[in-house]
Every structure is written in C-alpha cells, then in structure tokens.
Amino acid sequence: MSCGGDDVRRARAWLTRAVEPGSPELWRWVEEVGPVAAATALHRVAAPPRLQALAGTRSGEDRSGPDLDRADRMGARLVVPEDDEWPADELHCLTVATAQGHTGDRTTALVPPLGLWVRGPARLDLAVDRSVALVGSRASTAYGEHVAADLAHGLTTRGWTTVSGGAFGIDAAAHRGALAAGGPTVVVLACGVDRPYPAGHATLFDRVLQDGLLVSEWPPGCAPLRHRFLVRNRLIAALTRGTVVVEAAARSGAQATAHRARSLGKVLMAVPGPVTSAMSVGCHQLLREESDRPALLVTSAAEVLEAVGRLGADLTDPAPVATGPRDDLSDVARRVLDACPVRTGVSPDRLAAIAGCTGLDVLRVLPALELAGLVEWTGTGWRVTGEGRSADGAVG
Amino acid sequence: MSCGGDDVRRARAWLTRAVEPGSPELWRWVEEVGPVAAATALHRVAAPPRLQALAGTRSGEDRSGPDLDRADRMGARLVVPEDDEWPADELHCLTVATAQGHTGDRTTALVPPLGLWVRGPARLDLAVDRSVALVGSRASTAYGEHVAADLAHGLTTRGWTTVSGGAFGIDAAAHRGALAAGGPTVVVLACGVDRPYPAGHATLFDRVLQDGLLVSEWPPGCAPLRHRFLVRNRLIAALTRGTVVVEAAARSGAQATAHRARSLGKVLMAVPGPVTSAMSVGCHQLLREESDRPALLVTSAAEVLEAVGRLGADLTDPAPVATGPRDDLSDVARRVLDACPVRTGVSPDRLAAIAGCTGLDVLRVLPALELAGLVEWTGTGWRVTGEGRSADGAVG
C-alpha cells in the first residue's frame, strides 16, 4: 500500500506539525528540494528566512516519531504523495491552482496538502474516486437535514462516497444518510484524527470508522482551531467531483467551500429551499450568482450524479410526465369535446356553434372522440362521458 | 379615451364572438382588409373558405350590438387596437411572434387579440405598463400562497401591477396580496367579464373591480371552456414585463405560460421551494432547464423588479452581510487570537508555538488584537476576551 520510504514519511510528518498547513510557499519549496531536505533545513534553522518564519518556534521540536507511533497505535497512518494510496487525480486541481499562482492568504490558498493523516479501513484514493461533498450549515433545519440524509443515501446506494466535515447539522445528516445506506463515508477534519471534533459526534465517528475514513492535514493531538476550518474547507472541495450546498445562511463557511469548489473546476451545486428560510438564503444566492459556471440547482441524488457523473453512465431519468387522452386531440376536437354538455345530449350543429367551427368539423371529429370513450350518443344528441370529463388538460 | 369608431368596435365585437380567439390566420386577414370588411365578409359567408371555416356556423349570428350594450350596462367595454387605451407596447411581442410565423396550434399560437373586453375603473394600458405576472398551481400549498401574496404585496407597494388568472391557489393569493397592499390588480379571464370564473371568487372579483380590471378576449356570457385557458395564458405572459412561476407541478399550465413568456422575450422567473414538495417540482424544472435564457431564481419582490425593472431604477439592495471583528485580521493575527486560552494567560512564546509563527510575529500582532478588545493581558500572560471569543468567524 505504501511506497513512501520511512525517511520521507517521517519528514512529511514533521512538516505537518512544524508548519501550519496551507502555505503555497512551503509546498513549492518542498516540491523543489524534497521533503527530507526541507524538514532537515527547517529543523536546523537553515531554511530561507521567509520559510523559516513559517515554522517559527515550532522548528525546534521533533515529534514526528511519536506522532507516527501514536497514529499506528490507533489504526491511523500518514498517507504521503509518494504512496499509491495518495489521491493524486483528485488533488491535481490544487497543484494546478498553486502553479497558476492562485492568490489568497493561507486560509484561502488552494495548495495541496503535504500529507494526510488518515484513520479507518478504507483506502483513501478508492474512497474518494467517485465522491461528492455535501456541505451546509451547522444551524440546519429539519428540512435541510432530511434532504442531506436523503441525498447521501441516494449517492451511497449508487456506489458514490459522501464527503463532509463531520460538523453538527448538515454535515452530520449527510454522514448518517450514507451510513444508513450501508456505505462508507469520509470525514475531513480540522484537527487530529485521534480527537475528532465535535466530541458530541464520538458515536458517529465510531460508525464512520467501521467502513470509512477520518482524514486530516493536522497530526494527532491538534486542536480544531477556528482558522483551521477555513484551511480544511479547500480539501473537501478538492477531494470530490463536486460540492452540494444543502443549506447555508447568507454568510457561511459552506458558501466559501462552494466558491473554492468552483475555483478548482469542480461542479458546484445547491439545493433550493423555502424562500422564507434563512438557512436557504445562501443556497439561493449561489443559484442567483452570475457566472460563466453558475451553481446548478439539484433536487435529488440522481440529478447530482447527472452533473458529476461520467457521461452516459449516470444519467438521471427524465421526470415522469403524465399524459392524458386530451393530449393527442386536435384543437377542433378539444373544442368539440369541451362543447359537449354533461347531461342532455345536443346536436352536431349546436356543438359547432359552441365550439366555433363548422358542422362538418364536428362530424369529422366525433367518431374519434367516441372511439376514445370521451363522448357518447344519448339517442337524441351528444354528451361528454365520465372519462371525457375527467380527462385532465392543463387548465389555468 | 377611445378613438376606435363605432363601426370598427362593432366589427371587432362581432369577430370576438364569431371566431374562437387564437387564430393567426384570422388576425393577419383582419390586419390586411380591416375589421369592418373582415366581419362583413364572414357574416355574408363571402370570406376565403379557410377563414370562413374558422367562423363555422357562428357566422350567421350577429350579437355584437347586444354584447356591447350588455358590457356597457355592467361598466365594461371593448378595448380595440384603434383605441389609445390599447396596450400596444406590451402586445407588440405577439405581433412580432405572428409575423415570424411562430408555429403551434390555436391554443399555443402567439397571436395578438382582436380586442379585449375590459371591466373595471383602471385604464388598461396604464395598468399593465409596469406589471408582472404571478402564476402557479391551483393545488397550491400554504407556502406557495404565502410567497405569492408576499411577492404581490411587495410589487404593489413599489408601484407595480400584479397580473394573474383569477384561479384558485397561487392566482388568488397573488391578487389578494396586491389588494392587501391597496393597489390595483388585473385578472385575465378565459370567459366573459360578466361571469368571472370561478364563481367561488365572486367576492375577490368584486374587490378587484374597485381599483383594477377584469380582462378577456371572449365577449360577455362566454363560458370558461378548457381550451380557452390555454389560449388565455399567452395574454398573461404578453401583457406583463415578466412572469414569475410561484408553484407548479411537473406538468402544469403555469409551466406552459412560463415557456410562452420566454418565447415572447419576457423575463421568466421561478420561486424555489422545498425539494420535497410536489408543487415546487415544476419551478425547479424551469430553473434547471438549459437555455440561452434560463429562468431566473427569485426570492423577493425586490429581486423580481431587479430582473424586469428599468436599469438603475429598480435595483435590489445587496443582501445584508454581517461583518465581524475577525474579518479584518491577518492570517497570523487570527492564528494568535485562536491560540489565546480562555482562562489563564500564556506567554508570547507559547502563543507562537500554538499559532505556528515566530515570537516576533506574536509581538507584532498582539497590540492590534488588544486595541480591538479581542485579547487582554492578565498580569502573567495573554488570554482571549469575551468579545474575542464571540467574534464569529465562519467555522466549518
């Protein structure tokens, strides 16, 4: 499973703790000189000053050995770019963004991770190969949670993985929906995988660990500091084919994740909701944004997969459309049908006057209407049948 | 108010009864030979056979005098294209569509009306000059009715007229919302203005008649036959700047009106709703349609007017965005703030280790954090203040 040598893994473990993740400068330098040389230089305070400043006082420590041991003891591991398990295809978008010099401070920089601490039985690259991010507000409504669980369930039964952040609200509903469908789900954390946050989700995280994964850029023991969530959000967008915002307030982290997904060339989707709900305002804003690649409105797992799936493999069924017997009628036939009274039958001439056509028109269309069971001859005239009355055209 | 001569008005009155409205052939011929010559020829069974067939057995009757008298007695009138009151600007789109040979049977043909029977005190052209159509399902939900009434109320208070079809459900809620705001509203009927349908809305129509209008292509006494609703729908789309679909099932007349609005170059809008509601499926389908001119998602009257209003005159306010004291902080400052403990203060060196920066960085950002009231010196170290804790950044 792993090809990264022990020294490379140890160096990357050291880097994930010594330098707060999210720095494009550090990532470029590590790519240039290699992880071992980079870690050695920083530890010896021999790196270029700008990079040395990123490590700050942390450069003096070395907890890489204990961190890897601690991970090993709880069934976790550090997956590095040198491993087969590294989700290279998915994270390529971050490499491209960094190469293009995507601007932004550390919390918004679209930079690849130096390594990913992973806990759980699934293989990371396979787990995220066909995956969708479901994100949204922590202060979700019952509606939003229902939809999140329903989407995750539908994605899971179609063989797709749901990725989210493990937070209260929409995130949790998404993970639970995936678990209810008996599939794996991936939680991308902003803290160590040994202390998943929030603590109230301990049981949920235990269930995730049966089939799925907890993933983090931060080594074991790291706390879920606020700024880390912002850095983490790019990973949720990057690891998946597309991001669905289920519920979001007007100013929310979910919207930020959404915009990052779009910047990375991923499919951005949003679930609509009642316009009276504050928790759908963020979704509606995304759907109203003018853009070359506007957010796509989705209402079902099938529609999500139609947007992110491989062409031809995941097409949604067209919405079922009921057709009535009126649909095949000509304009004149419809008018004659509408002209037929319910009780006492009337003559073709009278029908012509009501329908606004000639008597010949009436005689021409009556046989077809009768054959379709829509009108009947009473012995003295024509009237509509029960079926003709209930044949539902779109009125109004 | 009227410039149409008596003979012209009488001829057009005759035509609206003799030929079922919606025929582009008849409209083109009337344009060519004039209404008086056209009516005379049809009445004498001397019109070209194809046109004569449109009148059928009705050509023998002449109820134009009694129709106009009946209208006069109930405070109604026939507005004709020759009148100043004719809404020529709005209906121009139908003239263009007919000239372009827009295809479709009579129920879907985009043809101008030959005249409009109008009842109520408002002047037709002024009433629809700044107007929006609100349409939707008869089988509406409480949510849809609430939104329809709210939109109509908002449009009315901003000086715009709400146009709808007077049906149960969304139509009625829209008219009621406009009336509640004390403004005029326009009901476009598929039957005579003397017998507005449905009868259960008699009180509603009475209230409409105080300030607004009942409008119909059909002369007094005509019944609301099913096919007439389909013909009527194009008028709702044509008379207004844009059409908002508030709630619609997957296959619905509201969707048909919506598509007609788009064909006529009008702004097409749809209100989103819960994805769990069958009555929002039609709206979501409109919003998902791929098109050069996709339906626009709207959630408020302000957004509707931004879409249909004159540039600069009806711009919506941007959604209010709360900004917190964290927003202006640099990445390092945010990390130092997050690193500050709640109770016992810690040294700048410890903060540097937690935040992942140099001690110098910490000393550089602490004064600003203290000035902003986010951190405080306890005498032995730095800790976060209550304001610093509650300064809400987007987490997760």
- Is the CB of A227 less than 8 angstroms away from the CB of B271? no
Contact present, B10 and B2 (Cβ < 8 Å): no
Identify the residue whose tokens are 């509408």: A338
Q: What is the pTM of this model?
A: 0.83
- Is the CB of A357 less than 8 angstroms away from the CB of B54? yes
pLDDT tens, position by position, B25-80: 999 999 999 999 999 999 999 999 999 999 998 999 999 999 999 999 999 999 99
Q: Is B269 on the interface with A (CB under 8 A)?
A: no
Chain B closest-CA separation from residue A7 CA (Å): 23
Q: What pLDDT, on the 0 to 100 scale, is given for residue A316?
A: 58
Q: What pLDDT, on the 0 to 100 scale, is given for residue A302?
A: 96
Distance spanning both ends of chain A, measured CA to CA? 64
Q: What are phi and psi of A183, to 5 degrees?
A: -110, 170
Chain A closest-CA separation from residue B101 CA (Å): 18
Q: What pLDDT, on the 0 to 100 scale, is given for residue B253?
A: 76
Which of B189, B193, B191 shows the shortest CA–CA distance to B175?
B189
Nearest chain B residue (CA) to A165? B396
Classified as helix, coil or strand, B51 is helix
- Is the CB of B355 less than 8 angstroms away from the CB of A20? yes
ipTM of the complex model: 0.81
Q: What gap in Å lies between CA A387 and CA A72, rounded to an integer? A: 72
Which of B46, B271, B289 shows the shortest CA–CA distance to B151?
B271
Is the pLDDT assigned to residue B301 strictly greater than 70? yes
- Is the CB of B56 less than 8 angstroms away from the CB of A359? yes
Q: What gap in Å lies between CA A101 and CA A110, rounded to an integer? A: 9
Q: What pLDDT, on the 0 to 100 scale, is given for residue B266?
A: 94
Q: What is the mean pLDDT of residues B141-155?
A: 98
Which of B356, B309, B301, B88 shows the shortest CA–CA distance to B181?
B301
Side-chain-facing half-sphere of B245: CA atoms under 13 Å: 37
Q: Is A196 on the interface with B (CB under 8 A)?
A: no
Identify the residue whose tokens are 């399902």: B137
Q: What is the mean pLDDT of residues B365-382?
A: 88
Nearest chain B residue (CA) to A252? B394
Q: What pLDDT, on the 0 to 100 scale, is given for residue B1?
A: 38
Domains of chain B listed by start with CATH number:
62-308 (3.40.50.450), 325-390 (1.10.10.10)
Q: Which residues pair with A268 in a beta bridge?
A: A243
pLDDT tens, position by position, B171-205: 999 999 999 999 999 999 999 999 999 999 999 99
Write out chain A in H/E/C secondary structure. CCCCCHHHHHHHHHHHHHCCCCCHHHHHHHHHHCHHHHHHHHHCCCCCHHHHHHHHHHHHCCCHHHHHHHHHHCCEEEECCCCCCCCHHHHHHHHHHHHCCCCCCCCCCCCCCCCEEEECCCCHHHHHHCEEEEEECCCCCHHHHHHHHHHHHHHHHCCCEEEECCCCCHHHHHHHHHHHCCCCEEEECCCCCCCCCCHHHHHHHHHHHHHCEEEECCCCCCCCCHHHHHHHHHHHHHHCCEEEEEECCCCCHHHHHHHHHHHCCCEEEECCCCCCCHHHHHHHHHHHCCCCCCCEECCCHHHHHHHHCCCCCCCCCCCCCCCCHHHHCCHHHHHHHHHCCCCCCECHHHHHHHHCCCHHHHHHHHHHHHHCCCEEECCCCEEECHHHHHCCCCCC
- Is the CB of B165 less than 8 angstroms away from the CB of A396? yes
Window 76-115 of A: residues touching B by CB (8 A cutoff) are 105-107
Chain A CB contacts of B54 below 8 Å = 356-357
Is the pLDDT assigned to residue B319 strictly greater than 60? no
Chain B CB contacts of A143 below 8 Å = 274, 276
Q: Is B356 on the interface with A (CB under 8 A)?
A: yes
Which of B195, B191, B220 shows the shortest CA–CA distance to B64?
B220
Which of B148, B143, B147 shows the shortest CA–CA distance to B167?
B148
Residues of chain A with pLDDT below 70 are 1-4, 102-104, 310-324, 391-396
Surface-to-core class of residue A12, CB atoms within 10 Å of its CB (0-12 exposed, 13-18 middle, 19+ buried): buried
Q: What pLDDT, on the 0 to 100 scale, is given for residue B256?
A: 81
pLDDT tens, position by position, A123-171: 999 999 999 999 999 999 999 999 999 999 999 999 999 999 999 999 9
Measured between alpha carbons, how far is residue B68 from residues A380, B39, B78 in Å?
35, 16, 7
Q: Is B389 on the interface with A (CB under 8 A)?
A: no
Classified as helix, coil or strand, B216 is strand
Chain A closest-CA separation from residue B1 CA (Å): 31
Summary mean pLDDT of chain A: 90
Q: Is B56 on the interface with A (CB under 8 A)?
A: yes
